[in-house]
Amino acid sequence: MATDAGVPPSPLPRFPDGFLWGVSTSAHQIEGAADEREPSVWDAFAAGPGRIRDGSTAAVACDHVHRHREDVALLAGLGVDAYRFSVSWPRVLAPGGLDFYDRLVDDLCAAGVRPVPTLFHWDLPARLDWRERDTAARFAAYVTTVAERLGDRVHKWITLNEPAEHTLLGHALGVHAPGERLLFDALPVAHHQLLAHGLAVRALRAAGARDIGIANSHGPTWAASRAETDMAAADSYDILLNRLFADPLLLRRYPSGLGELMPGDVAADLEIIAEPLDWYGINYYAPARVGAPQDAETEIGGVRVPAGLPFTLREIEGYPVTDFGWPVVPEGLTELLTGFRDRYGDRLPPVVVTENGCAYEGLDDQDRIAYLDGHLRALHRALTAGVDVRGYFVWSLLDNWEWAEGYTRRFGLVHVDYATQRRTPKASYEWFKEALRAQR
């Protein structure tokens, strides 16, 4: 926690030598230059009425495609070891699209920052659909193209970002692109993304890549009470948000009979999905508090959850909240990491925290400093408890287009004035820079 002056009370504990420090972004949220790529499902979704809080699109965003040199300089100034960005599949499909990533990777290497690309961060080409099994094979072909071009300089590869959110928010609830409201009929979307992941791991290895992982979102699930109905609801939520995307990868099986609801030859697909990983990426923001289902629609964190699901999400009280309304619960990260180690044991490869961060306004963002300080201490407690964590990436380098929230949520260490594209490092940028320097 920050003191009155906003300065954390003591230096962070020492992290192991070789611990990888980085920051994250994603293509659709920062790149802009929409007319230099194919359309993605997010372009079509954002064009619909009432879908994005401020009515905006990501057509320009941070104009990163045209300003990436300035952004690489910000990374170098921060002193991070690595930069997690995503490659836009729609841009790679456009003539010359890969040239941009080639330049970016060269510039990162020249600045001493290791490139960590994510191959899919929700911006599916608009002509494709995850309900189709063939999308997984197409993804693997695209991955081969990228790996052949960038593989000589990439440090770590990430196949997918948060297939859980993409399935739930995009295909089950319809609040993200492509805006489908399929509820449980969205399960094939989960399976096809997992299959795409496994095929991508094989494609990467065939192209000579090493150090491959995934970035899955996870959080502790807290039952709203000890009542049996709340406990059962929390269990259902935990299965859908945590285990559905981890068990197939780490245990080669779906949890709780969900495999029977999946399309295709599931046993054969699981052999592909469970290709061994070099590390496992976890994005952590907050725990979820879950109670028994209710008859009416509920709303939490800006997401409208229809009746008919086996759970409802409840507010978590007693913690500070970010501008997004998300509770700040650093100890949730310790609980999550130790819980994961206990659940998966030696099936869990080394872990990297691939996203962690918060939405706050302002350049003197002491709240963000307190958030990051608290979460890094919580992460260190997990290390002390014996969890093999190898790296930590802040979400995000820049303020950016926060999906259905448009430009209304600022997650960056660097402020972006969208009218002028001027970048201004916030207090948290200076704090993180000093924290990194102290670890060297």
Binding mask 26-65 for ligand BGC (x = CB under 6 A): x---------------------------------------
State which of residues 31, 355, 365, 367 lies at the interface with ligand BGC (CB under 6 A).
355
Q: Which of 144, 283, 312, 356 binds ligand BGC (CB under 6 A)?
A: 283
Closer to ligand BGC by CB, 242 or 283: give it: 283
Q: Nearer Cβ to ligand BGC, position 101 or 284?
A: 284
What is the distance between the alpha carbons of residues 431 and 440, in angstroms, rounded to a whole number? Answer: 15
Cβ of residue 62: shortest distance to ligand BGC, in angstroms? 13
Q: Please say which residue, 21 or 120, places its beta carbon nearer to ligand BGC.
A: 120
**Is the CB of 26 or the CB of 242 nearer to ligand BGC?**
26
Q: Which is nearer to ligand BGC, 177 or 224 (CB)?
A: 177
Site size toward ligand BGC, by CB under 6 A: 10
What string marks each residue from 135 to 174 as x (binds ligand BGC by CB under 6 A) or -? --------------------------xx--x---------
Catalytic residue among 180, 275, 335, 355: 355
Shortest Cβ distance from residue 217 to ligand BGC (Å)? Answer: 6
Please report, for residues 160, 190, 304, 356, the alpha-carbon distance to residue 238 in angstroms, rounded to integers and kept in the order given.
20, 15, 19, 20
CB of 106 to ligand BGC, least distance (A): 25
DSSP 322-376: -TT--B--THHHHHHHHHHHHHHGGGS--EEEEE------SSS-HHHHHHHHHHH
Backbone angles phi, psi at 262, to 5 degrees: -90, 150
Distance CA 38, CA 245 (A): 29
Region for 315 from its dihedrals, namely left if φ exceeds 0, alpha if ψ lies in -120 to 50, beta otherwise: beta
Is 317 designated active site? no
The answer to whether residues 198 and 275 touch, using CB atoms and an 8 Å cutoff, is yes
What's the closest the beta carbon of residue 342 comes to ligand BGC, in angstroms? 24
For the segment 214-253, give every residue that binds ligand BGC (CB under 6 A).
217
Contact track, ligand BGC, 314-353, x by CB under 6 A: ----------------------------------------
Question: In angstroms, what is the minimal distance from the CB of 402 to ligand BGC?
Answer: 5
For the chain, how many residues are written? 440
Q: Which is nearer to ligand BGC, 162 or 367 (CB)?
A: 162
Work out how close the CB of 191 gets to ligand BGC at its nearest, in angstroms, rounded to a whole number.
20
Q: SS3 for 157?
A: strand
Interaction residues for ligand BGC, span 198-217 (CB under 6 A) = 217
Min separation Cβ 237 and ligand BGC, Å: 16
Residue closer to ligand BGC (CB basis): 31 or 402: 402
Strand ranges inside 98-190, DSSP E: 114-120, 157-161
- C-alpha span between 195 and 274 (Å, rounded): 9
Q: Is 198 helix (H, G, I), strand (E, B) or coil?
A: helix
Q: In terms of Cα–Cα distance, which of 131, 136, 64, 145 is closest to 100?
A: 64
Residue 395 Cβ vs ligand BGC, minimum distance, rounded to whole Å: 5
Closest CB to ligand BGC among residues 283, 366:
283
Taken in order 64, 66, 72, 77, the sign of the CA dihedral is negative
Question: In a 10 Å sphere around its CB, with 0-12 CB exposed, 13-18 middle and 19+ buried, how is residue 111 labelled?
Answer: middle
Token pair listed for 412: 């960056």
User: Is the distance from CB of 56 to CB of 187 less than 8 angstroms?
Assistant: no
Residue span 370-399 as binding mask against ligand BGC, x where in contact by CB under 6 A, dash where not:
-------------------------x----
Task: Let me know if 355 is a catalytic residue.
Answer: yes
123 binds ligand BGC (CB under 6 A): no
Nearer to ligand BGC (CB atom), residue 79 or residue 302: 302
Where are the extended beta strands (E) located within 231-324?
A: 280-283, 288-291, 298-300, 303-305, 312-314
Q: CA-CA distance, 66 to 60, in Å (whole number)?
A: 10
Residue 11: CB minimum distance to ligand BGC, A: 28
Output the six-digit token pair for 12: 């962070």
Catalytic residue among 38, 162, 180, 335: 162
402 binds ligand BGC (CB under 6 A): yes
Residue 86 within binding range of ligand BGC, rule CB under 6 A:
no
* Alpha carbon distance 252, 133 (integer Å): 19
CA separation (Å) from 88 to 54, 60, 284, 292, 400? Answer: 24, 15, 23, 39, 16
Residues in contact with ligand BGC by the rule CB under 6 A: 26, 161-162, 165, 217, 283, 355, 395, 402, 411
Which positions are catalytic? 162, 355
